[in-house]
Amino acid sequence: MLRQAPGIPWRSIRGMGNILRHEYHRIADDVIWNVAAHDLPALKKALLALRASIGGPQ
């Protein structure tokens, strides 16, 4: 799947996941808000397009 969507920043997503799981106590609230408000909508759009391209459920 990584090769089917090279425009999705997979490495950054993994990195953020690791931080949220293991270093959450060091993250500023505004950083989380910025990701939720600005990055997640674009990621959702990209993932929905990927799912559509591989014939996943709508």
pLDDT tens track for 13-57: 898 888 888 987 888 899 889 989 999 999 999 999 888 988 877
Q: What is the pLDDT of residue 1?
A: 65
In a domain, residue 21? The reply is: yes
User: Has residue 58 been placed in a domain?
Assistant: no
What does pTM read for this prediction? 0.68
Amino acid (1-letter code) at residue 27: I
Which residues have CB under 8 Å from 54's CB, separation 6+? Answer: 1, 4
Give the separation between CA 29 and CA 58, rounded to whole angstroms.
33
> Within a domain: residue 5?
no
Tell which wins on pLDDT, 21 or 2: 21
Q: What is the domain range of residue 33?
A: 10-53
Sequence-ordered list of residues with C-beta below 8 angstroms from that of 47, at least 6 positions apart, any chain: 5, 8
Looking at residue 40, what is its pLDDT? Answer: 92
Q: Which two tokens stand for residue 37?
A: 């408000």
Residue 3 lies in a domain: no
Total of domains in the chain: 1
In a domain, 41, yes or no: yes
Please report the pLDDT score of residue 33 as a whole number: 92
44 in a structural domain? yes
